[in-house]
Structure formats: structure tokens, C-alpha cells
Amino acid sequence: MRDTLTAPPARTQVPPRHLTGPNDLSLPLIEQLLDDAAVFERGDAEAAPLRGRLLATLFYEPSTRTRFSFEAAMHRLGGQVLSAENAAQASSAAKGESLEDAIRIVSGYADAIVLRHPEVGAVERAARAAEVPVISGGDGAGHHPTQALLDLYTIKKELGRLHHLRIGLAGDLRHGRTARSLALLLSRFPGNELIMISPPELRMGTDVLDQLNEARVDETDDLHGAITGLDVLYQTRIQAERFASLDEYERYRGVYVMTVDVMHRLPEHAILMHPLPRAGEIDPLVDADPRAAYFRQARNGLWIRMAVLDWAMGR
């Protein structure tokens, strides 16, 4: 009795598989996750591979798609979910508990943690404190790696390849973690050209630009000019919550709006993507255009998150 109390079995034999940002994703791992997601989408996977496993989702920022798709993915894999959808108020963070302490505690209850947090680097800090895999659901204006994976999955499914593409990333590239992560992942594939479309004040950060060595990169503030040669236009929301004041945000709100008229400039074979939620950047009248891929894109999040959870906790 005494021995079992003093010497509990080690919880994990191997280091946990964290996914805190694009740098955790090697090219072979990206390809494996895209392939696994396709297997899940086809319904060819083993039934309930995560039966008996528990996922904790800790969201310190609002979310619809990311949290629901992770939770739906976990249920579809046969596992169960513990959820704090408003962790800033509903957890002991409201009493001043540190993120590290919260993660250490939740690590003892769950087999993996999905974390969304407003501070850049918070997910990496959490991973250092955790004994189980920590998967990013977005860290402030930092990164959103599973969104970038589902974006790749969508591009591959819609256009048949992930190389030799001209991709326009438009909107708030300074604060938009989805565009930042996607740019890094796209630059790993050969022959891609990235056109960064933003007002000068909302340019893509040099921390990302400096790592895009494989890709050709152009920067412009002219959406209408850039659009005509694209294979993918990736539109993003101006990130109101990241500006110092509402006045500053108002300066950029509505800077790029996709309307039925502007869609005439986008090539016939191209697709329009958006991580959603949209806040006026795409007129709902555009939804009927077959090139409008954003609702299909959101749905793909389910397959990618099944693949990510299975990789982190399975086998």
C-alpha cells in the first residue's frame, strides 16, 4: 500500500506533443495531419480512438469555431471534454491564480489541454508548466496553428495543391494571428508567392516576414490591384480588440470590403477564404458565389482538429 502511494506510475513516458505555434509543425508532420484529416473526413478511421480520454478546453478569449470544433472533434473521437469557455471569469484566474498554476492543476485532471489566451507566448508558457500536451487555440496577436492547418487543408481540397500558388493575405496583418501562422506554413511549400495586402500601419510583422525565406513576398495596400492575379484571397477581420483605442480601430474599419462587384476582379478558378468571424469585410451577398469558401473552410476545422487531437493523445 505504502509503495503504491510513494511511487505512483509515471504519467507520461515520452515528452508531451505540444502544438504551441507554427514552429512545432515540421513539413512531414503537416503532411501527416492533412492526410489524417482526410481519413477522418472520409469516415475511414478506426472508431473511437480516444475512448476514455479527457480533453480540457480553457478559453480566456471568446471563440465559436475553435472551441466547438475542438470539442466536437474530441466527442467524435470517442473522448470527453471538460470546458471553461470563459476562463478569465469562470476559473480561479478571477482570484489571481497564475496561468502556470491553473495549467499544472488541469494537467492532473485531463489528458490534453486546448488553450486560447490574450497574451502572446501564453501557450508556450503553459506548455512548460504542463505534464500533458498543450494545443494552442490562439495566443493574442501571436499565432493560431490549427487554424493555419485547416486553411492549408481547405486550399489543398479546393485547388488540389499547396505549392506554386499566389496567395493574397488581406486586412489586419499586424494583429491577425491566423494570417501570421498561415504565411509561415505556406512558405514551407515550394514556389508560393505571398501578397501582403494591408494599410501600412497594419503590415505583417518582421518576426514573420524574416522567416518567409522560401516564399516570394510582395507588400501592397491596394486590394483591388492585387486581386486579379490571385489563386487565393485570404480576407481577415480588423482586430478591434487589439487596438489601443476604439478611435484607432475606427480608422481601419471597412478598409477592405469584398462585395459582389469586387468579386468580379477575382479569377474564376480562385477562392475567397476568411477565418471568420467577419465584421463587415465580406458582404453576405458574396456567400452565394461558389468561390466563397469560408463556410466550407470552417467545417474543415473539425477534421483537422480530430487529426491534431489524435496525434497529441493517440497511438
Q: Is 154 in the site for ligand NCD (CB under 6 A)?
A: no
Q: Is 66 in the site for ligand NCD (CB under 6 A)?
A: yes
Contact 123/99 with Cβ under 8 angstroms?
A: no
Shortest Cβ 107–ligand NCD spacing (Å): 24
On the CB side of 178, how many CA atoms lie within 13 Å of its CA?
Answer: 23
Q: Is 177 in the site for ligand NCD (CB under 6 A)?
A: yes
**Secondary structure (3-state) at 233:** strand
Strands (E), the chain: 54-59, 80-84, 112-117, 134-139, 166-170, 193-197, 216-220, 232-235, 271-273
Active site residue 65: yes
Shortest Cβ 197–ligand NCD spacing (Å): 16
Active site residue 42: no
Among 144, 180, 188, 305, binds ligand NCD (CB under 6 A): 144
Mark residues 5-24: x for contact with ligand NCD by CB under 6 A, - for none: --------------------
Among 20, 57, 107, 178, binds ligand NCD (CB under 6 A): 178
Q: Is 169 in the site for ligand NCD (CB under 6 A)?
A: no
Minimal CA–CA distance to 237: which of 288, 283, 172?
Answer: 172
Under DSSP, the state recorded for 204 is P
Active site residue 166: no
Footprint on residues 249-308 left by ligand NCD (CB under 6 A) = 275-276
Shortest Cβ 196–ligand NCD spacing (Å): 17
Cell readout for 85 is: 469557455
Active site residue 220: no
Shortest Cβ 61–ligand NCD spacing (Å): 7
HEC secondary structure over 132-169: CCEEEEEECCCCCHHHHHHHHHHHHHHHCCCCCCEEEE
Q: Is 181 in the site for ligand NCD (CB under 6 A)?
A: no
Which of the residues 2, 42, 95, 315 is marked catalytic?
A: 95
Tell me the angle at which helices 27-42 and 294-313 cross, rounded to the nearest 10 degrees.
110
DSSP states of 163-201: SS-EEEEES-TTT-HHHHHHHHHHTTSTT-EEEEE--GG
Q: Which is nearer to ligand NCD, 111 or 139 (CB)?
A: 139
Question: Per DSSP, what are the bridge partners of residue 54?
Answer: 80
Q: Which is nearer to ligand NCD, 45 or 282 (CB)?
A: 282
Contact 174/202 with Cβ under 8 angstroms?
A: yes
Active site residue 180: no
Q: Which is nearer to ligand NCD, 30 or 148 (CB)?
A: 148
Q: Is 237 in the site for ligand NCD (CB under 6 A)?
A: yes
Q: Is 198 in the site for ligand NCD (CB under 6 A)?
A: no
Backbone region of residue 88 per phi and psi (left: phi > 0; alpha: psi in -120 to 50; beta: other values): alpha
Q: Which residues contact 48 (CB under 8 A, 6 or more apart)?
A: 77, 78
Among 107, 136, 147, 235, binds ligand NCD (CB under 6 A): 147
The Cα-based distances of 254 to 107, 178, 289 in angstroms read: 42, 19, 21
Which of the residues 17, 18, 53, 65 is marked catalytic?
A: 65
Mark residues 124-143: x for contact with ligand NCD by CB under 6 A, - for none: --------------x-----
Q: Which is nearer to ligand NCD, 20 or 66 (CB)?
A: 66
Minimal CA–CA distance to 137: which of 162, 116, 157, 121?
Answer: 116
Q: Which is nearer to ligand NCD, 53 or 143 (CB)?
A: 143
The residues annotated as belonging to the active site are: 65-66, 95, 116, 144
- Kindly list the residues in this chain that would bind ligand NCD in the complex (CB under 6 A): 65-66, 138, 144, 147, 177-178, 237, 275-276
